[in-house]
Amino acid sequence: MLRAHTTLSAPPNRLVNLPLALCLAGFGLVGTGAAAAENRAAANYHKTIEPLLSKYCYDCHGNGVGKGRVAFDEFASDAEMLAKRDLWLAALKNVRAGMMPPREEDIGRPSETEINTLANWIKYEAFGTDPANPDPGRVTARRLNRIEYRNTIRDLMGGFDFNSEAEFPPDDSGNGFDNNGDVLTVSPLLLEKYLSAAEFIVDRAVPKVPKIIRERMASGRDFRAESGEGNGENLNVKRAVKVARRFTVEQADSYQVVIELEVRGSFDFDAGRAKVICRIDNEERFVEDVAWSERKTLKHDLVVDWKPGAHVVSFEIVPLDPQGQIIAAAVSPSLPTTSAGASGGAATGADPNAKGATPGRDRAFRPSATSVTVRVASVVVRGPLHPEFWTTPENYTRFFPDGPAPADAAGRETYAGALLRTFATRAFRRPVDDAKVAQMVALARDVYAQPGKTFEEGISRAMMGVLGSPRFLFRVEAPVAGGAGQPYAAIDEYALASRLSYFLWSTMPDEELFRLAEKGELRRDLRAQIGRMLKDAKAQAFVRNFTGQWLQARDVESVPINARVVMGPNAQRNRDGRIEFDGAFRRMMRSETEMYFEHIIREDRSILDLVDSDYTFLNERLAKHYGVPDVTGDNLRLVKLPADSPRGGVLTQGTVLAVTSNPTRTSPVKRGLFILENILGTPPPPAPPDVPDLEEAKKNFEGREPKLSEMLAVHRANKLCNSCHSRMDPLGLAMENFNALGSWRDTEVGQPIEPAGELITGEKFADVRELKRVLRQDRKLDVYRCLTEKLLTYALGRGLDYYDAHTVDEIVDRLAREDGRMSVLIHSVVESPAFQKMRTQTPGRHVTLSVPPTSEIHP
Amino acid sequence: MKTPAAPTASAAEQRLLSLNRRQFLRGLGACVALPVFESALRPVAQAATAPAAGAGLGVTASGAPLRMAFVYFPNGAHQNYWWPTGEGADFKLGKTMQPLAPLQRSIQVLGGLDHKNATAGNDGAGDHARANATFLTGARARKTDAADIRVGISVDQVAAQRIGHLTRFPSLELSCDQVRKSGRCDSGYSCAYQYNLSWASPTTPMAPETNPRLVFERLFGAGAPGERQSNFQLRQATQKSLLDFVIDDAHSLQRQLGRNDQQKLDEYLTGVREIEQRIQRAENFGALPDPRADTPAGIPANYGDHMDIMYELLAMAFETDSTRVSTLLLAGDGSNRAYPQIGIPEGHHYCSHHRNNDDLMEKIGQIDLYYMERFAKFLQRLDAKKDVDGKSILHNSMIVYGCGNSDGNRHTHDNLPIVLAGGGGGTLNPGRYTKLGGQPMSNLFLTMTDRLGVSGLERIGDSSARVKAV
């Protein structure tokens, strides 16, 4: 590019470059700009970059030595050299993270200026990124994942909760997250489920008729005894009692009273008998003679004319003797009527016929005493019954805001069109055209025009169609046409609203986002909107889904860990008296991680708190497990940690420590790998296929059972293993003081743990406390970069590519300038070109299109 | 009123498309004589009497349905305990295969089948993902975390695409692995490779169903016994009324979007078409089979129970001839499940890297045995059930039980642990331990699709020939 005059080490000046960039992009279209840019990139390579590579890299990656299959001096041509984007991206990462050149090679570190020179050449020349207008990349239309589907249905369908986790197969994840468009495939099975779900959801969420008869339901518990204890849930036939319930109506009309009583006898026969008298407003409506039976339901359907005011439905039990005579003595309001008391108590007190009843003996010894009980299963009052008094069903106005449909066909059609347009606009998250509305109306009409079908049933059918449509199931962004020389353009505001709401809420945009998008004012109001969204309870979805995957906090709910083996037989027992990594404990750990992350958002703390801090969220059980004193009660809350506590930061939370462990022991390798991948962002390449047996290492210990750390040390002595394990193991071994469930320990197999170590970049640490400090202070740029990459991947729903290097760097620079605050990170991600823009539809949009695609990645 | 030209044209186009689609379906109905059930639980040798369907497609010589299933267990097998001694018809089952002893005459142990495409090649680590992805495809999985996942069409889908129209369901994909690891899967491979056995195309995995209730409802309808038929019909009618609408929507979108999004819509449309065809077929098949059983409650807490019930559902699907092709992924390769129910608190994957530690090796043997006991129970059930031709269902089946890793400790992919159960309707020669001397596992696939009457297949995955000796 036309930046040959600028020194490569200085970041290009945006203001100067903006017109140039536009100009260049224009040239790109006619095909000469790209070639010219390549020539300049090659010229600068030979002039500035080659000497640097020669100085720092050729010892291993040149002059005939091609370690790791990388040689910088064997490119067949400049074009081939420039095409190796993955190589340059790896070089950029490795040099900047201090992994290359390796310290032990005594080559010395490149200076800051030299590193910047290399970085800028890679980003702006080899990759051809225009810093003023970087390539926003391409996001595949994303299918809603299970969580997004559930949340979207909740917001679209008036709070309806559809258990998508149970009904849909699990989503695959890519690049670490399950919102990645590339892997969210649609199998025939899933489509079948989508259609069934559409039907199921609409069927339950949308009213089928405009008016319904009002219903009030009462159960046994609502019927109180007029004197003494007890309710209609459990009435012993041997005890005279009367229970009643008041129903208040506003309208004078006929009402239907539907009564269901249940008679239940104990397993063995019992001679108990009674009359059950039902009265409404003290007028006897029916009498039932009840006696022992295993289970019997008595139903009565009555119609009453009620005036406005209170009306009383009551049931009276009148005990009878086996001959059917009333037992006067049975009236004993002081007797208990709970189920336990009723069977024993009444039997001894009042019934001489009860089997084995021996007055005076302790009731507790006869748990099998027989009984007959009556339960008021339900009393439903339906009414007023006359149609003019019927009421509107719940949620009706949400779906039918103008009330019931008019009678005439044209009016119905107009109404259907209006309703469905609103519904589909929300469901598709952008306006729908008239043709689509007409199709929906036709679908609705096909149903409601049938005899016996309601208008609402017709609308429901069209809504099912909407929920089965690809425009609902996929987040589709309207393509933007590029003007002359504009390879990238801003996505429209509806797309922006969706990107925002699925990023921060995992659900569809709300009314306010829609309103702003409609007026074209969302972009202008972005900062305020992000602030508002993060304060909303729906932002919990972001915390949960992002930490759930970035830190694998989801997995703590299922990771198989054997608490008896890990904690030993004398460990703290749970409420069931067992030593168990139970569900409640797992959820506590997950909550700790989530509350911690949420705290950093809410308080706008530095994201470095994720690595090290002096606080966490605990309750009594978790605090005991961690060895933190003075925390009582079940509620997790913010706890300031003692000065010498090793806790604070996600790495010392139960979640991370457990998900990186094996079922019976820790795995320093997994833990080290976890830090490299998720905190430092410098994952080692995967292990080679022929890993030498770790067990081989045992030979060196002459029969003694070696510690894991000792075996790993032998493992590292192998050159092949060393290159990666020298990076992973020290990190993992520093965390050996935490067992597989995250409890502190000082020894392993009877020997003291030696947590001291050194990072590949040379920083030394004595234990986990110092490791965290090193990460927070010395490697903070790595932490910034890693989290930026993770968050950008999550927000965009795609893996990052070479053209994102510039964007990531910009965000990292901003974090470095602004104390790493969480708000800076979130805002920067939303404001980034990758989030705000898309590639346009114009062909020939890539300035670097002439460069052939890179070959297979080799890490 | 001025109407823009484009929408008018597109509406006309849409009408045309939907017309073509209906014609397509009518055509399908006319040229394929679809089987009709005489009674729900009695599959009839209908396909054989349907001349248009091709002689012997999906049926045995005696006219009974011929079924094919693949069952996958994870992490390879304890080598010494797995392999039999002896050879041919004169062999003695190994330690972990003891549960198969009563069925020894109905199974073949196959040695010497390899999956070269599951080896590292130039792709480095990721043997578990590859073992899983290659197992039924015989293809090399593209090493990618997300973008452009690609492996190959799997043998079950090759068969389903050819014989699927004979049954209500072209194929059934099942799994007992419902908990997935968050974040990344094996060494830079997309999780899609590790949790799917079946691939409808090189880029579309067939996500398996893990919930027994949902499998049951799909096969036999939702609701209590007696209500299922009417529930099913109601649902079919509703779905049918929605199809034109959603297809139009997909087509109009398709015109709008870029290449990669096209692929997503293709997946969508394929799914819709399959539903259409299924509705069409259902009309021809008549009443749903009624297993006169309660719907299962959901996923059992105990993994063994989960496996048992999935096997049970698979057996029911075969007995009712609801499908003739199925896959069952017991657990994705690399599974680190613990087995406290048999006294193994450690994870399976951890144990499988036993590094020749006796204790861990013993545990691997126990896990292998645990899996095998369940498989044997399944075979016994199929063996006890009479098919329409008087033979057992097992006789009229070809069931592969195996893993894409042979030695979990070293991640080898040659001499895979494979059992081929069933008589293939009399076309297989069970009761033997056959050493096949190192040839692609995919050769076995071709042999099986041949038996199903699928003609004209030159290769599947990396097949080089057909296995002669089974």
Binary contact (B261, A439; C-beta < 8 A): no
Are residues B21 and B109 located together in one domain of the fold?
A: no
Least confident of A258-262, A751-755, B72-76: A751-755
* Rounded distance between C-alpha atoms, residue B51 and residue B56, angstroms: 9
Are residues B407 and B299 located together in one domain of the fold?
A: yes
Binary contact (B336, A663; C-beta < 8 A): yes
Joined together, the tokens standing for residue A718 give 């192998």
Q: Is residue B348 part of a domain?
A: yes
User: In total, how many domains does chain B have?
Assistant: 2
Distance in Å, alpha carbon of A186 to nearest chain B alpha carbon? 6
Closest residue in A to B277 (Cα) is A188
Using alpha carbons, select from A559, A541, A675, A672 the residue that is nearest to residue A601. Answer: A541
CB A372 within 8 A of CB A266: yes
- Does any CB of chain A come closer than 8 Å to the CB of residue B262? no
Residue A697 pLDDT? 63
Q: How far is CA B379 from CA A655, A704, B62, B99, B105, in A?
A: 42, 47, 21, 10, 12
Using alpha carbons, select from A498, A418, A403 the residue that is nearest to residue A462. Answer: A418
Are residues B172 and B313 located together in one domain of the fold?
A: yes
Are residues B238 and B103 located together in one domain of the fold?
A: no
* Residues above pLDDT 70, as percent of chain B: 88
Residue A621 pLDDT? 94
Q: Is residue B306 part of a domain?
A: yes
Which strand (E) or helix (H) includes residue A154? Answer: helix A146-156
The mean pLDDT of A234-258, rounded to a whole number, is 94
Cα dihedral B246, B222, B312, B82 in deg (nearest 10): 30
CATH number of the CATH domain containing B131: 3.40.720.10
Q: Strand, helix or coil at A249?
A: strand
Closest residue in A to B343 (Cα) is A562
CB B368 within 8 A of CB B78: yes
| pTM of the entire predicted model | 0.80
- What are the phi and psi torsion angles at A274 (to 5°)? -160, 160
Closest residue in A to B192 (Cα) is A172
Mutation choice for A interface testing from B246, B279, B325 by most A CBs within 10 A: B246
The model's pLDDT over A804-827, given as tens digits with 9 standing for 90+, comes to 999 999 999 999 999 999 999 999
Q: Spell out which residues of chain A touch residue B257, defining contact as CB-CB under 8 Å.
A: 141, 476, 479
The mean pLDDT of B107-112, rounded to a whole number, is 97
Q: Which residues are CB-neighbours of A104 under 8 A, at least 6 positions away? A: none
The mean pLDDT of A555-579, rounded to a whole number, is 86
Please tell me what DSSP assigns to residue A796. H
Q: Where are the alpha helices (DSSP H) in A615-667?
A: 620-626, 654-659
Using alpha carbons, select from A236, A196, A252, A445 the residue that is nearest to residue A350. Answer: A236
Sign for the pseudo-dihedral over CA of A363, A364, A366, A371? positive
DSSP string, B250-284: HHHHHHHS-HHHHHHHHHHHHHHHHHHHHHHHHHH
Using alpha carbons, select from B325, B352, B451 the residue that is nearest to residue B74. Answer: B352
Binary contact (A662, B336; C-beta < 8 A): yes
The mean pLDDT of A480-509, rounded to a whole number, is 93
Between A158 and B178, whose confidence is greater? A158
Distance in Å, alpha carbon of A528 to nearest chain B alpha carbon? 31
Distance in Å, alpha carbon of B146 to nearest chain A alpha carbon? 4
pLDDT exceeds 60 at position A244: yes
Distance in Å, alpha carbon of A300 to nearest chain B alpha carbon? 26
The residues with which A217 forms a beta bridge, in sequence order, are A380
Sorting pLDDT into bands at 50, 70 and 90, what band is A10?
very low
Are residues B443 and B370 located together in one domain of the fold?
A: yes
The mean pLDDT of B311-320, rounded to a whole number, is 96
Q: Which residues are CB-neighbours of B99 under 8 A, at least 6 positions away? A: B369, B372, B373, B375, B376, B377
Q: Is residue B465 part of a domain?
A: no
pLDDT exceeds 70 at position A340: no
Residue A14 pLDDT? 39
CB A811 within 8 A of CB A825: yes
Using alpha carbons, select from A297, A272, A279 the residue that is nearest to residue A376. Answer: A297
* Rounded distance between C-alpha atoms, residue B199 and residue B251, angstroms: 24
Are residues B95 and B149 located together in one domain of the fold?
A: yes
Question: Which residue among B183, B270, B346 sits closest to A176, beta carbon to beta carbon?
Answer: B183
Are residues B212 and B252 located together in one domain of the fold?
A: no
Binary contact (B191, A469; C-beta < 8 A): no
**10 Å Cβ neighbour count for A300?**
14
* Rounded distance between C-alpha atoms, residue B84 and residue B94, angstroms: 5
Q: How far is CA B275 from CA A272, B202, B244, B280, in A?
A: 59, 21, 12, 8
Q: Is residue B456 part of a domain?
A: no
* Rounded distance between C-alpha atoms, residue A428 and residue B312, angstroms: 41
The model's pLDDT over A260-312, given as tens digits with 9 standing for 90+, comes to 999 998 888 888 899 999 999 999 999 999 998 878 899 999 999 999 999 99
Least confident of A158-167, A775-784, B144-153, B321-330: B144-153
Last residue of a domain, one of B287, B303, B336: B287
CB B405 within 8 A of CB B411: yes
Are residues B49 and B157 located together in one domain of the fold?
A: yes
Are residues B435 and B341 located together in one domain of the fold?
A: yes
* Rounded distance between C-alpha atoms, residue A160 and residue A15, angstroms: 51
Which strand (E) or helix (H) includes residue A245? Answer: strand A241-249
Q: Is residue B38 part of a domain?
A: no
Q: Is residue B247 part of a domain?
A: yes
Please tell me what DSSP assigns to residue B178. -
Closest residue in A to B188 (Cα) is A686
Binding-face residues of B in 369-428 toward A, CB within 8 A: 410-411
Binding-face residues of B in 129-158 toward A, CB within 8 A: 143, 145-149
Residue A28 pLDDT? 39
Residue B55 pLDDT? 42
Binary contact (A443, B245; C-beta < 8 A): yes
Q: Spell out which residues of chain B touch residue A468, defining contact as CB-CB under 8 Å.
A: 242, 245-246
Cα dihedral A282, A287, A289, A294 in deg (nearest 10): -90
Using alpha carbons, select from B141, B58, B67 the residue that is nearest to residue B394. Answer: B67
Which pairing describes strands B67-72 and B325-329: parallel, antiparallel, or unpaired?
A: parallel
* Residues above pLDDT 70, as percent of chain A: 87
Residue A690 pLDDT? 58
Task: Reduce the secondary structure of B320-333 to three states and give it as a string.
Answer: CCCCCEEEEECCCC
Between A492 and B181, whose confidence is greater? A492
Q: How far is CA B36 from CA A677, B167, B169, B275, B287, in A?
A: 57, 10, 14, 19, 9
The residues with which B175 forms a beta bridge, in sequence order, are B329
Sorting pLDDT into bands at 50, 70 and 90, what band is A699?
low
The model's pLDDT over A100-139, given as tens digits with 9 standing for 90+, comes to 888 777 778 899 999 999 999 999 999 999 999 999 998 8
Which strand (E) or helix (H) includes residue A581? Answer: none
Q: Which of A437-446, A658-667, B199-208 has the highest mean pLDDT?
A: A437-446
Task: Give me the amino acid identity at A637.
Answer: R
- Does any CB of chain A come closer than 8 Å to the CB of residue B438? no
Q: How far is CA A111 from CA A98, A182, A752, in A?
A: 11, 40, 41
Write out the residue range of the structural domain in which residue B427 sits.
43-221+293-451
Are residues B150 and B101 located together in one domain of the fold?
A: yes
Are residues B117 and B163 located together in one domain of the fold?
A: yes
Between A35 and B348, whose confidence is greater? B348
The model's pLDDT over A505-524, given as tens digits with 9 standing for 90+, comes to 999 999 999 999 999 999 99
Residue B372 pLDDT? 98
Q: Spell out which residues of chain B touch residue A696, defining contact as CB-CB under 8 Å.
A: 355
Binding-face residues of B in 267-296 toward A, CB within 8 A: 267-268, 270-272, 274-275
- The length of chain A is 859
The mean pLDDT of B369-377, rounded to a whole number, is 97
Binary contact (B218, A662; C-beta < 8 A): no
- Mean pLDDT, chain A, integer: 86
pLDDT exceeds 70 at position B425: yes
Please, is B42 exposed, middle or buried when counting C-beta atoms within 10 Å of its C-beta (0-12, 13-18, 19+)?
middle
Using alpha carbons, select from B435, B373, B427, B365 the residue that is nearest to residue B401. Answer: B373
The model's pLDDT over B223-259, given as tens digits with 9 standing for 90+, comes to 888 889 988 888 888 989 999 999 999 998 888 877 7
Closest residue in A to B299 (Cα) is A166
Distance in Å, alpha carbon of A247 to nearest chain B alpha carbon? 35
Using alpha carbons, select from A166, A164, A169, A160 the residue that is nearest to residue A203. Answer: A160
Q: Is residue B349 part of a domain?
A: yes
Which pairing describes strands B107-114 and B432-440: parallel, antiparallel, or unpaired?
A: parallel
Binary contact (A141, B411; C-beta < 8 A): no
CB A402 within 8 A of CB A415: yes
Closest residue in B to A464 (Cα) is B242
Beta strands in A404-466 (DSSP E): none
Q: ipTM of the assembly?
A: 0.77
Question: Which residue among A176, A677, A688 sits closest to B124, beta carbon to beta carbon?
Answer: A688
Binary contact (B250, A191; C-beta < 8 A): no
How many Cα neighbours within 13 Å face the side chain of B300?
12
Look up tokens 């091609």; give the residue: A66
pLDDT exceeds 90 at position B416: yes
* A–B CB contacts, 8 A cutoff, strictly below: 237
Q: Is residue B466 part of a domain?
A: no
Residue A693 pLDDT? 55
The residues with which A283 forms a beta bridge, in sequence order, are A280
Binary contact (B125, A175; C-beta < 8 A): no
The mean pLDDT of A20-24, rounded to a whole number, is 40
CB B345 within 8 A of CB A665: no
Residue B282 pLDDT? 81
Are residues B368 and B321 located together in one domain of the fold?
A: yes
CB A647 within 8 A of CB A628: yes
Binary contact (A664, B143; C-beta < 8 A): no
* Rounded distance between C-alpha atoms, residue A600 and residue A618, angstroms: 16
Cα dihedral A451, A455, A456, A460 in deg (nearest 10): 80
Binary contact (A476, B239; C-beta < 8 A): no
pLDDT exceeds 90 at position A720: no
Which strand (E) or helix (H) includes residue A779? Answer: none
Binary contact (A187, B182; C-beta < 8 A): no
Residue B39 pLDDT? 33
Binary contact (A185, B192; C-beta < 8 A): yes
Q: Strand, helix or coil at B400?
A: strand
The model's pLDDT over A757-767, given as tens digits with 9 standing for 90+, comes to 999 888 999 99
- The length of chain B is 470
Residue A695 pLDDT? 54
